[in-house]
Amino acid sequence: MKKYILLFMFCLLVGQMLGYKDIRHKELERSLHTALQGDVHNVNIASLTDFQWDKAYVFPPYTPVEVMRDELGVQSYKDWSGLGFRDDINLLVFLHGDQIVHYAEIDRAFGEFGQNNSLSFTPSHATLTVQRF
């Protein structure tokens, strides 16, 4: 048992040293899911965020990681959500400068955020139209 505890603590330490940071914003996901309940067709993303961001992107299901890297302009982007293989979520990625600060997984049961491969927006123009099927 002590071996497992030591191994776990070692992994935590290595993660901290490598600068691992959980950037999935689960509170934003809950807020979005609540805002999208019922007959809502528009949602202002900026009103739901509690962090600084300059630009955000919505990626539809099955978007390849290469496409996300090109759109975001961040070649080191890792597909934490596995979006390239999933059809149950849209991915919302927030940038501040040239750094990814947060992402949120939005369940498709609440609708779609557009028809394009990606949809980018800024805090001053952050009202998205939700298409329901």
Tell me the torsion sign for CA atoms 71, 73, 78, 81: negative
pLDDT, position 70: 93
Residue with tokens 């299901």: 61
Angle at 103 between CA 98 and CA 107, to 5 degrees: 150
For residues 96 and 49, give the distance between their C-alpha atoms in angstroms, rounded to a whole number: 13
Ranges of beta strands (E only) in the chain are 42-44, 55-59, 89-96, 99-107, 119-121, 127-129
Q: Mind listing the pLDDT tens digit for each residue in 16-75?
A: 544 445 789 999 999 988 888 877 788 899 999 999 999 999 999 999 999 999 999 998
Q: Mind listing the pLDDT tens digit for each residue in 93-104?
A: 999 999 999 999
For residues 101 and 81, give the distance between their C-alpha atoms in angstroms, rounded to a whole number: 15
